[in-house]
Amino acid sequence: MKSYEVVIVGGGINGCGLIRDLALNGVSTLLIDKGDFASQTSQGSSKMLHGGIRYLENADFALVQEALEEKNLWLKLTPHLCFERDFYLPLYDYSKYKPWMLRCGLFLYDFLSHFQNKAHDMLNPEETVQKIPSLEPKGLMGAGKYYDGVVDDAKLTLECLYDALLEPCANALSYHEVISTVKVADGYEVTYQSMRTPHKETVKAKFVVFTTGPFTDKLLPKLNVPWTPQLAPSKGIHLWLKEGSVDAKGSVVLTTKDNRVVFVIPQRHSILVGTTETPVDQDMFNIKATEKEVNYLLDVLRQYFPNSNLTKDSIISTFAGVRPLVREEGAPEALGKVSRFHKIFRPDQFTYVMLGGKYTTFRRMTQELAQEIVPRLGKAYHPNYTLNPLRQHSVMPTFGEQPKLTLEMVKKIIITEYVTTFEDLVKRRLSILDEPHHLKDVMGLPVDDVKALFR
Ligand SMILES: Cc1cc2nc3c(=O)[nH]c(=O)nc-3n(C[C@H](O)[C@H](O)[C@H](O)COP(=O)(O)OP(=O)(O)OC[C@H]3O[C@@H](n4cnc5c(N)ncnc54)[C@H](O)[C@@H]3O)c2cc1C
């Protein structure tokens, strides 16, 4: 039976961030995911590296500061995946924030970044309309301009994993479901089952870590891990719209009349619009946007961009995800107000569960856990290793000019980027929003020949 020091269950950003940290510190680690790596929440985010301007309202200053530090770090470490963008937050005469409040909030935001953010600015109504000409002018009182990051969330997750797998002590399996963890004298026996064949295998591990995000509350009782439910899962959906369907050059942050926040972020020759916050009543592994949710976002856009010609045809695709928010005693009712702080649980001596937090702060979360586990294995922990750049980039850049691909290049991507299915390739390695058009016309690939590689 193979033996590892740590088995990580769940290959989203938290699992992939953790295996990187452990592997760089010389810990033998196996990461297992039920689907493709980064195929759940960590590809369904709003794709922002951000402090979270709205968390200032909850006085979550420590979280905002930590997230801003991490945002500015990743902008430097991965300039091919993370970009700084100007964001405009317009104010209307009915907005709950007054211009002076926004000015104070944006100053605080820059302050908490140790002034590493590009400086904010306040625009009057005329300046706002110059920047975002299509914005509803009636009642407009101006806008705050500030800076945050955009990221390809799935790719950053994958590149953390690729970096980890350059270390001989790290190993990873996709499309394998962990089906049992049994306590034995010197650790655990972890059994996983292939999702594609009848193959089952058991390995030994000193520690088991669950980074299973929104799936945790359902999974742990099935594995007989002592556990009381901890999550307040909150669903959010997004739309990818065709370029030009909303005339927004900069990114716009809308605070709606029903007190929600909707982002409109032009990127990748498209416009990303999101998100909603609703309780979850569907199978979380196949979570989809409902028509009602899509209509809600379209209505918000029509209200703020009244001259845009938005129809269902403007939509390239939709996606949904579930925020693994940790429930708190006495927390406010509204899901949007549940704290984004993370928690690390230790249901027994050698089992850890990491929950909550934000994508932006994953490195800090995984570091907190790694610096507990590594010394328990009798090794020295080096916190600075994760400050080094990622060493293996994806062949296909997400942003900017994309090269034409050949079938040979695709075959190489399949091997070096741990691809199992056509969808893994198209969605997460090539970052394509509208296949097969993009695959054929932009990348120059014969779609059927690419599909044939997976038969
Ligand atoms: C709508 C939305 C918008 C968001 N926007 C932002 C944003 O803009 N910025 C930001 O910082 N954060 C954002 N977040 C938060 C962020 O996306 C999450 O905090 C983060 O992605 C959680 O990652 P994770 O690794 O914990 O979970 P996941 O990515 O869900 O990974 C968990 C993994 O566990 C696997 N798994 C489950 N059960 C098993 C099993 N039995 N065996 C093996 N594997 C298993 C799953 O397949 C999955 O891949 C957003 C979240 C949502 C939902």
Q: Find the 431 Cα to ligand 1 centroid distance in Å.
A: 18
Closest-lying ligand 1 atom to the alpha carbon of residue 16: 25
Both tokens assigned to 258: 């029903």
Residue closest by Cα to atom 16 of ligand 1: 359
Residue closest by Cα to atom 14 of ligand 1: 45
Question: Average pLDDT of 42-64?
Answer: 93
- Probe residue for ligand 1, chosen from 219, 260, 284, 358 as the CB with the greatest number of ligand atoms within 8 Å: 358
Query: pLDDT tens-digit profile of 413-429?
Result: 999 999 999 999 999 99
The strand pair at 342-348 and 82-92 is best described as unpaired
d(CA 223, CA 206): 17
Q: Find the 270 Cα to ligand 1 centroid distance in Å.
A: 23
- Probe residue for ligand 1, chosen from 75, 194, 212 as the CB with the greatest number of ligand atoms within 8 Å: 212
Query: pLDDT tens-digit profile of 343-383?
Result: 999 999 999 999 989 999 999 999 999 999 999 999 999 99
Does residue 122 carry a pLDDT above 70?
A: yes
Q: Find the 117 Cα to ligand 1 centroid distance in Å.
A: 26
Residue 331: predicted pLDDT: 53
Q: Find the 214 Cα to ligand 1 centroid distance in Å.
A: 7
Does residue 295 carry a pLDDT above 80?
A: yes
- Probe residue for ligand 1, chosen from 20, 200, 215 as the CB with the greatest number of ligand atoms within 8 Å: 215
Question: Among 169-173, 231-235, 380-384, which is the least confidently predicted range?
Answer: 231-235
User: Which residue, 313, 154, 150, is CA-closest to 241?
Assistant: 313
Where do the domains of the chain lie, and which CATH numbers do they carry? Answer: 3-42+154-231+336-387 (3.50.50.60), 83-147+233-323 (3.30.9.10), 407-452 (no CATH)
Best-predicted range by mean pLDDT (30-44, 241-255, 324-338): 30-44
What is the pLDDT confidence band of residue 230, given thresholds at 50, 70 and 90? very high
Distances (CA, A) of 319 to 40, 86, 239, 289, 308: 10, 24, 7, 6, 22
Residue 160: predicted pLDDT: 98
Residue 249: predicted pLDDT: 79
Question: Average pLDDT of 201-217?
Answer: 98
Percent of the chain with pLDDT over 70: 97
- Average predicted confidence (pLDDT) for the chain: 93
Closest-lying ligand 1 atom to the alpha carbon of residue 275: 1
User: Which residue, 278, 259, 337, is CA-closest to 58?
Assistant: 337
What is the pLDDT confidence band of residue 338, given thresholds at 50, 70 and 90? low
What is the pLDDT confidence band of residue 323, given thresholds at 50, 70 and 90? very high
Residue 401: predicted pLDDT: 82
Does residue 283 carry a pLDDT above 80?
A: yes
Q: Find the 91 Cα to ligand 1 centroid distance in Å.
A: 32
Query: pLDDT tens-digit profile of 134-170?
Result: 999 999 999 999 999 999 999 999 999 999 999 999 9
Q: Find the 66 Cα to ligand 1 centroid distance in Å.
A: 19
- Probe residue for ligand 1, chosen from 53, 323, 363 as the CB with the greatest number of ligand atoms within 8 Å: 323
Closest-lying ligand 1 atom to the alpha carbon of residue 14: 25
Lining ligand 1 with CB less than 6 A are 9-15, 32-35, 39-42, 44-48, 50, 177-178, 211-215, 219, 236, 275, 321-324, 357-360
Q: Give the 3-state secondary structure of the chain.
A: CCEEEEEEECCCHHHHHHHHHHHHCCCCEEEECCCCCCCCHHHCCCCEECCCHHHHCCCCHHHHHHHHHHHHHHHHHCCCCEEEEEEEEEEECCCCCCHHHHHHHHHHHHHHCCCCCCCCEEECHHHHHHHCCCCCCCCEEEEEEEEEEEECHHHHHHHHHHHHHCCCCEEEECCEEEEEEEEECCEEEEEEEECCCCCEEEEEEEEEEECCHHHHHHHHHHCCCCCCCCECCEEEEEEEEECCCCCCCCEEEEECCCCCEEEEEEECCEEEEECCCEECCCCHHHCCCCHHHHHHHHHHHHHHCCCCCCCHHHEEEEEEEEECCECCCCCCCCHHHCCCCEEEEEEECCEEEEEECCHHHHHHHHHHHHHHHHHHCCCCCCHHHHHCCCCCCCCCCCCCCCCCCCHHHHHHHHHHCCCCCHHHHHHHHCCCCCCCHHHHHHCCCCHHHHHHCCC
Residue 339: predicted pLDDT: 60
Q: Find the 107 Cα to ligand 1 centroid distance in Å.
A: 31
Question: Average pLDDT of 44-49?
Answer: 97
How many CB atoms are closer than 10 A to CB 96? 10
Question: Average pLDDT of 28-39?
Answer: 98
Both tokens assigned to 427: 């969605």
Strand partners, 8: 31, 209
Taking the alpha carbons at both ends of the chain, their separation in whole angstroms is 31
Closest-lying ligand 1 atom to the alpha carbon of residue 361: 11
What is the pLDDT confidence band of residue 433, given thresholds at 50, 70 and 90? confident
d(CA 425, CA 431): 8
- Probe residue for ligand 1, chosen from 45, 231, 261 as the CB with the greatest number of ligand atoms within 8 Å: 45
Buried b (16+ CB within 10 A) or exposed e, 141-155: bbbbbbbbbbbbbbb
φ and ψ at 380, to 5 degrees? -85, 140
Closest-lying ligand 1 atom to the alpha carbon of residue 179: 41
Residue 221: predicted pLDDT: 97
Question: Average pLDDT of 299-319?
Answer: 93
Does residue 189 carry a pLDDT above 80?
A: yes
Residue 449: predicted pLDDT: 93
